[in-house]
Structure 1
């Protein structure tokens, strides 16, 4: 589709000639204006790709003033039409950062060429601005990431340092129960650091594109049953994981097998099931369902836990983001970011619904 060009010209006959010339060249002219105020209104209405602006307009507002307003409010490129080439007008016009000048009288070829150059130049500027904004956002995200990373490492390291100091300096004053307690704190902190490092390595692989997606035939039903057995063993007696299958695989070659990346799927489902148990501190049922539909499998994991506050839901899949209601429940906020990446590598989708105090449901769709 050709670009839209708004013509703002003091003389109606010249404006009509310009309109005809532009339309003959394939451009769309959604409107003509002779007053600065009208030009601004039409720019707001039509949002053109470029404005041809006469320096001298009817009314109290000049073309330069109208161009400045259009540039500020809508960031639309402007090319000036002018019968004047004196330095005073040129200096005023430069402050509005125009994309070209056309001196009257002009040839049709000159008009079209100037417009094409202006549109091309503007598109390049847009690309550069977007790239710069993206780079700034990336730098901001990296800064936040390392700040949060530092915080996540500091807590377990402090615990190890304090407990080690107590055991070293006050060992003779501590009974065996206290010593075991401090050693347990150290062990848990080391495990936390180990999990954190593993998750950071996975995030790093995701950001550098080093995760190799390797789908292979998988007995999905047996895979899920084994996973439930393993997680149920580590869960408390107050938690009950209920696994159900709806439908069946339509593959004629071997209905038991589906093509998925086993390692990534293990991480996806383990993380979601462990979270369902972990964030249900009072216990309850965790429903784990596998649905076979045409061309894909769907996993639904539903818990009766603490839920996710609405204010936290928007950024749930971002690194180091956790619900504000997790309290002392351990975690580093990296798991769901990795889960989403693995789901996307499968070409799938992950969504959730949650209500504080009621529970959370995650749904993962994976094409097969």
Structure 2
């Protein structure tokens, strides 16, 4: 018995051609949806076995947004799109689809893709896993590593970059406002990632601590907007001196913002890119899909533990490591009135 397929496509002619091809091959088309909202309604009432999913749809939501929900519901899907932009392809790949068809395509292409996808899905059900780990699983693996905070953030950045391209990331607590634990990640020209705390970053961009505090008494105000390209980015620069300073120093031209709530506190991940007009609602969708990964980064990497600062003389950047308590550590007898076990602090009192 052929399976039921839902077509999620906002171009009626394309959707109707798909329906004719599928029904000719013996599949049952249980509906056509031009938007994510309509697709969810049909999923609830029709119970499709497969979904053919366009990326750009009517409304604010994209196929990338819907893909995350399909994965949670256990419904396999194949993307159909006329957009072969590398960034879009990487974002789509991260959602682990069972295929990707580029418009226009032939009937034979569709049937071959469905046969391959069905076989892969059957094997996945048999072994109860995908051939490759999801982006969330990869990040989860890095988070659990016994490595410095800086090293883990670099590895996470390398995994996240293909789906959400960035040249600078600013991670900060927005409510209640606190910049003391800001994390800044810079992508260098050779493609490597470096982490900087505020002290090192301020020296690099030649800004005083006084100015920084005055500029950052409030979080990045975006009034519900998540994407700042072109005019919106230029306006943001005028309203926020810190954004202006960063964009001038690193030649940044666009911004993508997402907020994460943890235990009643708000945090912001602010992604910057050298290119103008880069970010689209597809990137917003991919970030929304992986908010659990961002929550895990906040909870277990950045703000989950007390951290000590260790200066690396090789690159003068700051590497953050969990504090390790040594049971047999020697405490100077003349350390009266000071509570703590910092080796650096002990050394300072010895000198």
Same fold judged by TM-score > 0.5? Answer: no
TM-score interval for Structure 1 and Structure 2 normalised by the shorter chain: 0.3 to 0.5
TM-score, scaled relative to structure 1 = 0.34
If you compute each CA radius of gyration, which structure gives the higher value, 1 or 2? 1
